[in-house]
Amino acid sequence: MSSRDHWKSKLGFILAAVGSAVGLGNIWKFPYVVGKNGGSAFIFIYLACVILVGIPILVVEIYIGKKSQLNPVGAFRFFQKGKLPFSLIGYAGVLCGIIILSYYSVITGWICHYLMLSFRGFSGTETEISEIFTDLNATPWLNIAWHTFVMVTVVAIIAKGVRNGIERVSKILMPLLGILLLMLVCYAVTLSGMKDAWHFLTYPDFSKVTPGSFLEALGTSFFTLSLGMGAMITYGSYLKGNVNITKSAVQIASVDTLIAFLSGLVIFPIVFSNGLEPSAGPGLIFKTLPVLFSKMPGGHIVSVAFFALVLFAAITSAISLIEVAVSFVVDEYKVSRMKALVIMGTVIWLLGILSAVSSWNVAGTSFLDLFDKIASCYMLPLGGLCTALVFGWAISNEQKKSEIGSSAFSTALLFAAKYISPVLLLLVFLKEIGLF
Ligand code: PFF
């Protein structure tokens, strides 16, 4: 495996992993899930999930990748013990990445469309502005065009390799994302709704928490940390030498959580300043926010900054999604990176067309919703569960400790990964399939 591309620096790895983690899940999903579940009490539960499951599984995935120096399929085969076909977990991960990217690219296309519109500024009545989204969805060629644009961009970045493509782009986009987010937070602080937003995000009201909130928090933390499908295994496989995996995982999870919280701190003041409900749902950034941008002083610049921020976050996540499939084809079939990219890019692009044409559906459910449900509700928790089981029960303690260390913190993480995470992930999965 000496020809394997590796990260140039530890910082490059951290930024690429943060780039994978920070995406639509943080800026689009997290705020509306928080809104729906009553605010800060939910954030406390979310934090507990990140600590008890997110960080341990992140450590496990990075470990599996770094130790094996292989794509998820090869990596699970590397740890094969007994007769159970561990590599199936890797195959499911590759498939899951393909499915997620096919619709993630369509949503990223919507962001591109809104960014373009932001340059002109949103104007018109509330109905007219929220109809932009309905019109976009009803125009298949436009959706396909943006989806194609996103896929070509992602493929062009990946074509340059791990070090010169993924790492370089992450080193530019992640700091830019940080700057844009801080600018937006500074702006949000000046709004009248900031006080209410701060209260909403920091004073827990546990009466709003339902049993379902626990599982939703776990599922969301898993998605936003890019866990359960081998993305972090793949990024871990490009690590070499002495890397403190535990410390890296804590850093990645902390930045991911901070960015999710700051996104809420940008979105909720805007929502509260306009007397709206925080639980607007998935339409929040495509329907509600543009209407508010059109009314706000300086809303034009704020909307450009906001959609650019979301676009950068989405592109770096999309990169990690396709990299899983590409590394699989390169490692397993010994083809060139370029060939693997063309094959996988085309497959994902074709699959994405199903989501881009919103009028196509299965029993009344759009392909986009269906794929999201299959991948993020079933495949990710199940993938995480299997990963935790392999790590906990098929890899010896000596092997783990040689890479992860034996400090009290590492020991606690190993304990959580072996006993706590699988149980909680099993609960999420059973809840998703409706068993309780
Ligand atoms: N973490 C990304 C987000 O929050 O949008 C989504 C994601 C990327 C999930 C990569 C899984 C993955 F492997």
**In this predicted model, what pLDDT tens digit does every residue of 408-425 receive, in sequence order?**
999 999 999 999 999 999
The alpha carbon of 38 and the centre of ligand 1 are apart by a number of angstroms equal to: 24
The share of the chain scoring above pLDDT 70, in percent, equals 99
Judge whether residue 283 has pLDDT over 80.
no
Question: Is ligand 1 within 6 A of the CB of residue 24?
Answer: yes
The alpha carbon of 201 and the centre of ligand 1 are apart by a number of angstroms equal to: 23
The alpha carbon of 59 and the centre of ligand 1 are apart by a number of angstroms equal to: 16
Determine phi and psi for 237, rounding to 5 degrees.
-70, -10
Which atom of ligand 1 is found nearest the CA of 22?
4
Judge whether residue 38 has pLDDT over 90.
no
The alpha carbon of 247 and the centre of ligand 1 are apart by a number of angstroms equal to: 21
As beta bridge partners, residue 361 has 366
What does the alpha-carbon distance between residue 113 and residue 142 come to, in Å, rounded to a whole number? 9
As beta bridge partners, residue 365 has 362
**Average predicted confidence (pLDDT) for the chain:** 92
From 100, 310, 312, 326, mutation site for ligand 1 pocket: most ligand atoms within 8 A of C-beta:
100
Question: Is ligand 1 within 6 A of the CB of residue 20?
Answer: yes
The share of the chain scoring above pLDDT 90, in percent, equals 71
The alpha carbon of 176 and the centre of ligand 1 are apart by a number of angstroms equal to: 19
Radius of gyration of the chain (CA): 21
List the structure tokens of 267: 């979105």
Determine phi and psi for 159, rounding to 5 degrees.
-60, -25
Are the C-beta atoms of 50 and 225 separated by less than 8 Å? yes
Nearest CA to ligand 1 atom 11: 226
- Helix H segments across 121-276? 126-137, 140-159, 161, 168-189, 194-202, 211-224, 231-236, 245-273
The alpha carbon of 23 and the centre of ligand 1 are apart by a number of angstroms equal to: 6
Q: pLDDT band for 281, please (50, 70, 90 cuts).
A: low
Q: What is the pTM of this model?
A: 0.94
Neighbours of 192 (CB within 10 A): 10
How far is residue 327 CA from its own chain's centroid? Answer: 19
List the structure tokens of 160: 């340059």
List the structure tokens of 147: 């989806």
List the structure tokens of 406: 């034996």
From 177, 222, 223, 232, mutation site for ligand 1 pocket: most ligand atoms within 8 A of C-beta:
223
Are the C-beta atoms of 182 and 266 separated by less than 8 Å? no
* Euclidean distance between the first and the last CA atom of the chain, given in angstroms as a whole number: 46
Question: Is ligand 1 within 6 A of the CB of residue 223?
Answer: yes
What does the alpha-carbon distance between residue 379 and residue 374 come to, in Å, rounded to a whole number? 6
Question: Is ligand 1 within 6 A of the CB of residue 220?
Answer: no
The alpha carbon of 196 and the centre of ligand 1 are apart by a number of angstroms equal to: 30
Question: Is ligand 1 within 6 A of the CB of residue 25?
Answer: yes
Whole-number pLDDT of residue 287 = 84
SS3 140: helix
Structure confidence by residue, pLDDT tens digits, 67-118:
999 999 999 999 998 888 999 999 999 999 999 999 999 999 999 999 999 9
From 224, 326, 348, 387, mutation site for ligand 1 pocket: most ligand atoms within 8 A of C-beta:
224
Pick the closest to residue 104 from 215, 181, 29 (CA basis). Answer: 29
Are the C-beta atoms of 230 and 93 separated by less than 8 Å? yes
Nearest CA to ligand 1 atom 7: 226
Instruction: Please report the domains of the chain, with CATH numbers, ordered by start residue.
Output: 10-349 (1.10.4160.10)
What does the alpha-carbon distance between residue 418 and residue 85 come to, in Å, rounded to a whole number? 20
Whole-number pLDDT of residue 87 = 96
The alpha carbon of 223 and the centre of ligand 1 are apart by a number of angstroms equal to: 6
The alpha carbon of 158 and the centre of ligand 1 are apart by a number of angstroms equal to: 16
What does the alpha-carbon distance between residue 143 and residue 141 come to, in Å, rounded to a whole number? 5
What is the helix (H) or strand (E) element at residue 362, kind and residue range?
strand 361-362
How far lies 189's CA from each of 197, 260, 270, 273, 283, in Å? 10, 17, 10, 11, 23
